[in-house]
Amino acid sequence: MAAAVDAARDFPALRVLALTVVTSMTDADLTDIGVGAPAEEQVLRLARLADKAGCHGVIASPRDVAALRGVLGAGALIVTPGVALHGESPSEHARPGTPRAAPAAGASHVVVGRTVTRAADPAAAFRCVRNSLAR
């Protein structure tokens, strides 16, 4: 991560983000790959490493945002994939959140993908996401 931050120094507008724990992983998945800590602890551990390396922020589940904001402070970028509309199936995301909940918890960016692209009416789904974020 430090090498990526160093390489980005020549590009002042470039931001380096570190992935914490992908939103599709559960505590059991982490155990399966040899990580003994639950997802919430692992996310915070990886975020601290990213911060120490000089990363501008992290990519994490919407459910992790409040704890991350406390660890990383107000200036860090927190990008949240795994966003689904209320009542919608979260697809393969094991730790999803709603478009409104992510920024309310302190996310700087919300990634909306499948909730719109896989909707029967993508334009209507996009309007729902936009309305949710506007509230």
- What are the pLDDT digits (tens) for 46-74? 999 999 999 999 999 999 999 999 999 99
Where do the domains of the chain lie?
A: 2-134
Mean pLDDT of 8-36: 95
Q: How far apart are CA 31 and CA 93, in angstroms?
A: 17
Mean pLDDT rounded to a whole number for the chain: 92
Q: What are phi and psi of 77, to 5 degrees?
A: -80, 135
Q: What is the pLDDT of residue 24?
A: 87
SS3 call for 79? strand
Residue 105 in tokens: 């918890």
pLDDT band at 90, cuts 50/70/90? low
Fold of the 2-134 domain: TIM Barrel (3.20.20)
Total-model pTM = 0.90
Q: What is the pLDDT of residue 75?
A: 95
Q: What is the pLDDT of residue 113?
A: 87
Mean pLDDT of 119-128: 93
Query: In the chain, what percentage of residues exceed pLDDT 70?
Result: 97
Return the amino acid letter for 98: T
Is-contact 114 126, C-beta < 8 A?
no
Is-contact 79 111, C-beta < 8 A?
yes
Q: What is the pLDDT of residue 96?
A: 74
Q: How far apart are CA 15 and CA 97, in angstroms?
A: 24
Q: Could you tell me where the DSSP H helices lie in the chain?
A: 2-8, 27-32, 39-53, 65-72, 101-105, 114-117, 122-134
Quick one: CA torsion of 73, 78, 82, 86, rounded to 10 degrees? Answer: 60
